């Protein structure tokens, strides 16, 4: 079965880390809306300049903007290749837009994973996060350090700290998540697609838990 998954879950719970590993293992496309938006801000495009301040404040970018980025990626994909939507949808409105896009393309989701972690875990993970400025690979200063300090294992580029990983912005991101995205858990539960993962453990344990569920889906 072609895997077409959605990843929900608070900032810093480990969605991107799990998605990167699963996409490598199952040859899926990772569609991270945060990464797509950061690419735009990094390139200084008109769109990037428009969303930069919103992202750095911990608020959400307009639904239509993010949906267009996702639609373009999904159109490129074809029917054969699976995907993980990492961080999309994030509002009930985005979930409705996604359904419309998938219907148009003749595709169906087969799982929505809610990747959960405690606030304590989240704050510890986000404050030590570093990611590759070029390929986006995610590290943690203590938990998942690169082989060589400050350098990406995969492409040797410099590791950077995200502007939205400051304590005051983390607080706003958590509040925004609870207000706008948490309701999607019920939304996908009602559609029979929800799988909840306790991601407080080690990366390999989290991956194993997701793989066990995927084994049932596949």
Q: Which residues are catalytic?
A: 15, 90, 129, 162, 173
Tell whether residue 73 is a contact of ligand AP5 (CB under 6 A): no
**Beta strands at 138-140 and 129-132: parallel, antiparallel or unpaired:** antiparallel
With CB under 6 A as the rule, give the number of residues binding ligand AP5. Answer: 37
Which listed residue (55, 109, 194, 197) binds ligand AP5 by CB under 6 A? 55
> Shortest Cβ distance from residue 80 to ligand AP5 (Å)?
25
Helix (H) / strand (E) element for 31: namely: strand 29-32
Find, among 27, 101, 25, 29, the residue nearest to 63 by Cα.
101
Question: Half-sphere exposure of residue 183, counting CA atoms within 13 Å on the CB side?
Answer: 9
Stretch that binds ligand AP5, among 30-38, 103-111, 152-160, 210-218 (CB under 6 A): 30-38
The length of the chain is: 218
110 token code pair = 């087969």
Task: Output 110 or 172, the one with its CB closest to ligand AP5.
Answer: 172
User: How far is Cα 29 from Cα 20, in angstroms, rounded to an integer?
Assistant: 9
Tell whether residue 90 is a contact of ligand AP5 (CB under 6 A): yes
Whether the CB-CB separation of 24 and 55 falls below 8 Å is answered with no
Strand partners, 138: 131
> Shortest Cβ distance from residue 17 to ligand AP5 (Å)?
3
Which listed residue (129, 136, 195, 214) binds ligand AP5 by CB under 6 A? 129
Tell whether residue 83 is a contact of ligand AP5 (CB under 6 A): no
Task: Output 163 or 218, the one with its CB closest to ligand AP5.
Answer: 163
> Shortest Cβ distance from residue 98 to ligand AP5 (Å)?
10
């Amino acid at each position: 079965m072609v895997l077409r998954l959605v990843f929900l879950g608070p900032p810093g719970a480990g969605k991107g880390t799990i998605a990167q590993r699963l996409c490598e293992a199952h040859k899926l496309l990772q569609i991270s809306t945060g990464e797509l938006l950061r690419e735009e801000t990094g390139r200084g495009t008109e769109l990037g300049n428009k969303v930069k301040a919103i992202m750095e404040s911990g608020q959400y970018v307009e639904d239509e903007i993010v949906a267009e980025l996702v639609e373009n990626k999904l159109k490129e994909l074809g029917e054969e290749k699976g995907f993980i939507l990492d961080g999309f949808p994030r509002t009930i409105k985005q979930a409705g837009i996604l359904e419309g896009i998938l219907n148009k393309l003749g595709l169906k989701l087969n799982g929505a994973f809610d990747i959960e972690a405690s606030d304590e875990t989240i704050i510890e993970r986000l404050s030590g996060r570093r990611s590759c400025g070029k390929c986006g690979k995610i590290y943690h200063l203590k938990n998942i350090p690169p082989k060589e300090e400050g350098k990406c294992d995969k492409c040797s580029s410099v590791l950077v700290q995200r502007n939205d990983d400051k304590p005051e912005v983390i607080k706003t991101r958590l509040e925004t998540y609870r207000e706008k995205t948490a309701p999607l858990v019920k939304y996908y539960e009602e559609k029979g697609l929800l799988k909840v993962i306790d991601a407080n453990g080690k990366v390999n344990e989290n991956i194993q838990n997701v793989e066990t569920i995927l084994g049932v889906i596949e």
